[in-house]
Structure 1
């Protein structure tokens, strides 16, 4: 076995990715899975009475080697997929599901954890917390069920692992394999920076000219600027077709049968555990608590968002008529005319800002904000990582190592779409303890030559700040146990740090310091900056509506008896809402990876907005001091939320910071909807 997968020898404790081959994963997985099984068996079969040390603490350590192997593998599977890694994903998924089912439904383990939990009031606070969580997790996994029901639960888990893996791979295939060449005589309206990106994408694929791919950082600006309506329609329909059986992969990447099967299995699992439906099961441990509370929040925002969207639709239709088009405003028209309307109403053209938003400049802003708030410092270093594009930094405070931070920022055909934050290892204090290794992944368009800068859109810049907000949750974590470290919190609380961090991007003092023209080095002119910030709320109706459509469809999928036809239920929900046809869901059912490539956001896509209610209120705490970098407020935020991980329930963490629960008004104001 390649020991590099479990004993990392690279700079700053990183894995030596240059010494790891795909052939190494299966033997390492076999060995570490067997080791984890043996460790868990020893805990379950221990003849000694159950104690915190021989049961709960031992469980925290039992899977350490397996976690290290899987953290490397799944990181690579997401950022640099290939046929062998996809094959391994399909192989590992059911075996991990089977292992998890046997551990989580072992009646011996359940009895021991339950015995410790009965005397948990004698434990230290964090010890008591992980004991309570361990019991809750085993109970929700089905450990208290009859033997027959435990067998069925195990079968559900194994089948779900296969289905969700297949769903994600189908979307990746459709995204990876689609290319739309754009002839030289059909480039009208496209700014120079976008043309450079389109040519760079073509060059990366060994093609000439310029192309559109389904990378969000490429297709969205194409839809915003292309004057060629027919090409916009072709590109948009390809984007919308991912996973539908009409995408680049054809019938072989049709996710709709998988959706029906996943929903049915989730419902069956929830009913086995005594819940009415999957939404009731999933939301019980979250801040929201139940589907009605989620629906109430979303519908408070839906009305103002829809009203604004309808106002904008009328204005955009008028612009469409000015171009001589008599038909209805379509989904592939909205972004183009919204950009034109924004230019007209705010005298603002996003293309004017892009030369000031290089990746390096915005990274400087991200790190400067972290320094001002939390005194973090970033020292770059070199290491053999999975791509030459990946960057690495030591993160320190007062000379002490806080974390290793890795940034993989550029789109590649082999990379899963979207943006995310993950970790190769989490912070904990067991034994000598360890500091986190945090990874931010984005899909920005790479520069068109080695010595050219990478340009970000305003949306890209928000994404950069958002993902680093997640990273702060890992970097500042200060807990004893890995199971409650960093972002291991309620799903509808996890987006608070990320969405809160985005607020600093929009502060004039940050832009004035870091938004610099890539050629002249001159700062973003104040009047252009002010128009940018004013125009930022111009698309609030569209952005909020497309998000809420997805969140409400997700909720509907998991309430009551599951639909056999996901697309038909999607259509019913949108019709009942009165959703504009020109504003489709942000993530339509066939490529709704948040919901169908795993359970994390299933019946939980609402959590972005639930967290946004809090992030708007949290940033107001800084504004109320008159200093957006107020050190006392930053220290309180770190002490009560960012350092605590899941060591307390989310509502308790929030109250400790703000001393009251937030309301929706700050969100509506922040989005410009009131």
Structure 2
């Protein structure tokens, strides 16, 4: 594999070794520097692009990394004092940004440049877009309102920032746990128990099972006892009770803010900047898809019901319906029986180190890049790996990224990518290079085996690395447009497109090797995996639609009369088609998207799949998944522009036409050829 190691990284290497006092000082410095820039802009008597827009955008360029580092540590540090300091810093910085967006004197200067049509027309495309975007951002923060309304809006924004930070902290630190005996965990493989913490339960050895992904997902998929799965469903569903009133308050405040600005609903406010533009197309898309998926789901429910009824009959118990704790277990059972697919068999071919290395190799070849692993880099935890990124055929540095793949106490407990630093042009013409960090929670090694991934984990790795390289490969003049800062309902498309690689036989046989023998995954097993790709697609995608329709349900209301907990439970049963039972649960409390930037935007996961499927089918299937020119076109037309142009323009450049939904429908098992 063309990946080497180096003892020192190129570019400006960031320092994550900060004490709580360091974090506090850095936040104070960022505020002081920002205020100085804004005061200078406000003092301009003859506002121009050079003395107003450039200083404001340069401040974002230069402060981006410091801001990201001090706020990122709350998600990855093992030290609670550091996590708390990071959260406090984020509150301070968010408060300052909200105050900044409410400064009428700064907005007047920006507006004067915006209104100078001859100067704006003389600018290059990205600079002109910068002026338009900056004016729009100020206007959406209420600068066209009178003073009283503007100040009230500022207070709402401040409170929403506080609520978002608390919501996230509760999820990161609010893991649930249960202690279960080996009998209660019947069906789990032997390596599930290796190295696991134990506690005595009624005189028996009990195993600690948490709600972190490497624990709860295998239990929900493989535990034979319904009581065990039900117990873990409830443990997960009763996490973070404090987040329910937080979300309830946030929904009300978002609506109030939107209506102050003249929008009917919060969704209307958010979608104005997205590809969808308004709630109506989103709801039409989701409801149309729901009706199509229900046709598939009807058949899947019949198969699952038959299995559960047989299980109940075997133990002489009545069948009472399908519940949330049945979904993963019986869906997995159907896949095993119909396609002879067993997760335990499959994961033997997915050792995390080898899979990661091979997937990085695929990205190197596709994007014409070269990665260099850094020895003993400065980082926040010993598990973290750091890589430089170079052009494949020349000594041109591109950026660097971090991989933090395993769970630990207090760490962010899903999978995500943080764009730590945007690339940008310095005033002297030199370049600052991008940095991204991928954080995940894959299974850790056991005493008898290395860390082994499921096929789903490998797909997640491909997806999240897609976000990493969207940031690394982006080249823009201004941080505001860099990488994944695209329209919210497009941002997932580039990463979703790369998920297809985990279903390509020729690709799978490159990165899936047995952890003991080193033999590539057998062709027969690959065929069974690919054949099972859309098994359960109706129910799986209905679950995604459930989250999207719930999101619209709480954010597209004009009267604010919505109970966030009650609506979640109702729609879960109506759309996802599994019952919650008599338990008092509040599953929405741990869905970070609703407070983490995806409000009125969760639909984007499925909306953007239309684009990802079309990109894949129209170019990579047609030209060959290993075609180097296709990979370069993807890098230069989709990843490189970031949001310096509209996403639709990038799609047309890459595909040579506007997108349609034919490939998308086929990709989820709906073979009807229709276009949107």
TM-score by length of 1: 0.91
Superposition deviation, residue 422 in structure 1: 1.1
Superposition deviation, residue 97 in structure 1: 3.5
Structure 2 residue corresponding to 1:78, chosen from 55, 75, 78? 75
Answer yes or no: is the 8 Å Cα contact 1:423–1:439 preserved in 2. Answer: yes
Distance 1:16 1:422 in 2: 16
Answer yes or no: is the 8 Å Cα contact 1:427–1:433 preserved in 2. Answer: yes
Answer yes or no: is the 8 Å Cα contact 2:9–2:388 preserved in 1. Answer: no
Distance 2:554 2:246 in 1: 14
Distance 2:493 2:645 in 1: 15
1:385 is matched with which residue?
379
Structure 2 residue corresponding to 1:446, chosen from 438, 444, 447? 444
Q: What are the ranges of 5 or more consecutive residues in structure 2 without an aligned counterpart?
A: 1-7, 200-204, 672-676
SS at match of 1:186: coil
Q: Are 2:320 and 1:323 aligned?
A: no
Q: Are 2:93 and 1:101 aligned?
A: no
2:150 is matched with which residue?
150
Superposition deviation, residue 125 in structure 1: 0.8
**CA deviation string 1:597-636 (max 9, x = no partner):** x3x2100001111110000000012345341122232222
Answer yes or no: is the 8 Å Cα contact 1:286–1:491 preserved in 2. Answer: yes
Kindly report the root-mean-square deviation, in angstroms, between the aligned alpha carbons of the 2 structures: 2.4
Q: Are 2:474 and 1:477 aligned?
A: yes
Superposition deviation, residue 25 in structure 1: 1.0
Answer yes or no: is the 8 Å Cα contact 2:75–2:83 preserved in 1. Answer: no
Superposition deviation, residue 371 in structure 1: 2.1
**CA deviation string 1:352-391 (max 9, x = no partner):** 1101011122212321221221111111112131111000
2:418 is matched with which residue?
422
1:183 is matched with which residue?
181
Q: Which stretch shows the higher mean deviation, 655-664 or 465-474?
A: 655-664
Superposition deviation, residue 192 in structure 1: 2.9
1:591 is matched with which residue?
590
Distance 1:576 1:412 in 2: 36
Q: Are 2:292 and 1:304 aligned?
A: yes
Distance 1:169 1:439 in 2: 19
Answer yes or no: is the 8 Å Cα contact 2:163–2:250 preserved in 1. Answer: yes
SS at match of 1:492: coil
**CA deviation string 1:191-233 (max 9, x = no partner):** 234334xx34669xxxx86332111232111111111221111
Answer yes or no: is the 8 Å Cα contact 1:126–1:647 preserved in 2. Answer: yes
Q: Which stretch shows the higher mean deviation, 184-193 or 149-158?
A: 184-193
Aligned length: 644
**CA deviation string 1:129-167 (max 9, x = no partner):** 111111111111112211111111110111111111111
Distance 2:94 2:284 in 1: 35
Q: Are 2:398 and 1:405 aligned?
A: no
SS at match of 2:282: helix
SS at match of 1:438: strand
Q: Are 2:56 and 1:59 aligned?
A: yes
Superposition deviation, residue 42 in structure 1: 0.9
Superposition deviation, residue 266 in structure 1: 0.4
Distance 1:339 1:571 in 2: 24
2:124 is matched with which residue?
124
Distance 1:578 1:21 in 2: 45
Return closer, same or farther for 1:63/1:136 CA change in 2, 3 Å cut-off.
same
Structure-to-structure mapping, 1:623-634, within 5 angstroms: 623-634=620-631
1:270 is matched with which residue?
258
SS at match of 1:443: coil
Structure 2 residue corresponding to 1:542, chosen from 518, 533, 539? 539
2:4 is matched with which residue?
none
Structure 1 residue corresponding to 2:483, chosen from 486, 505, 514? 486
Distance 2:500 2:621 in 1: 14
Distance 2:535 2:635 in 1: 33
Distance 2:60 2:371 in 1: 31
Superposition deviation, residue 59 in structure 1: 0.6
Distance 2:287 2:198 in 1: 43
1:646 is matched with which residue?
643
Q: What are the ranges of 5 or more consecutive residues in structure 1 without an aligned counterpart?
A: 1-8, 246-253
